[in-house]
Amino acid sequence: MLHFGEEPPIVGERGSGTVFFAHCNLRCLFCQNHQISQEGLGQDMTWQELAAAFLDLQERGAENLNLVTPTHYMLPIARALHRAYEEGLRLPLVYNTNGYDSLELLALLEGVVDIYLPDLKYLDAACAERCSGARAYPETAQAAVRAMHAQVGALDLDAPARGVIVRHLVLPANLSQSYEALLWLADEGMLGVPLSLMSQYAPHHRAGEVPGLQTRLACEEYGALVEYAQNLGFEQVLVQELESQETYVPDFRSDNPFNDPRAIGDCATGK
């Protein structure tokens, strides 16, 4: 689809040519995309059909080719990209990932990916295990973000063709160790990397199983974190309106997943 809900430098004027891949290598209890990430909603495609879909997005005027949660399909994706490049694909490639990527895979992607859009979800292993089923997430994502930055540097928002944007979904009550994550990025010399602080958390899917995740993010919590980021010296902080808690709940059973959002809050009670 041509997607207009990503960060503005990724969307551009014509929309990001986005392919959502079914399933995921994490199991986040609060996943707003659980229809595709955990229930497997999707469409079977061969890698040849995937190549044709990439070229179709270019035909439709996409600003880039945006692969969402691609990690576990990189072999068929690589085959599809190879075919599509032979047939004229020229779009910048966006690798849109939860950050749970191996260094071996990232080494193979060097020179192939133009824009990395990784999450940095948590820095605490117990929290990563409880909320996403991946105790090794923090050190894995930290190493991945470091490697991505070493490959392509920070994204220039005025000429968004190459570089990294780091995303951080802010959970209520600092359950995502937001302050620690920002400090880590600063210590790693990434104050020049655009930082997308996402306020869109709402208790979806199985979030009701985790104490503290049954509520939405408070305006004051988010504002304090944005201020902290600015005071730390982040040069570019991308912020969301809190209304995005409702705007960004897609229904992938609809032909128009982001224009026909589901009612929110239905999973807070586990129903």
Inter-residue long-range contacts of 134-140, CB under 8 Å, 24+ positions, other chains counted: 134/25, 134/26, 134/27, 134/100, 137/26, 137/99, 137/100, 140/99, 140/100, 140/101, 140/102
Residue in this structure with the two tokens 């049954």, named with its chain if needed: 214
31 or 80: whose CB is closer to ligand SF4? 31
Q: With contacts defined by CB under 6 A, name the span among 28-36, 59-67, 170-178, 249-257 that binds ligand SF4.
A: 28-36
151 or 200: whose CB is closer to ligand SF4? 200
Give yes or no for residue 33 binding ligand SF4 (CB under 6 A).
yes
We find the least distance from the C-beta atom of residue 98 to ligand SF4, in angstroms, to be 3
We find the least distance from the C-beta atom of residue 182 to ligand SF4, in angstroms, to be 20
- Whether the CB-CB separation of 241 and 199 falls below 8 Å is answered with yes
Q: Which of 87, 139, 130, 82 is nearest to 108 (CA)?
A: 82
Give yes or no for residue 171 binding ligand SF4 (CB under 6 A).
no
31 or 123: whose CB is closer to ligand SF4? 31
Put the strands of the sheet holding 16-20 in their side by side order: 2-3, 16-20, 65-68, 93-97, 115-118, 163-164
Footprint of ligand SF4 on 84-143 (CB under 6 A): 98, 132
Chain contacts with ligand SF4 (rule: CB under 6 A): 24, 26-28, 31, 33, 37, 69, 98, 132
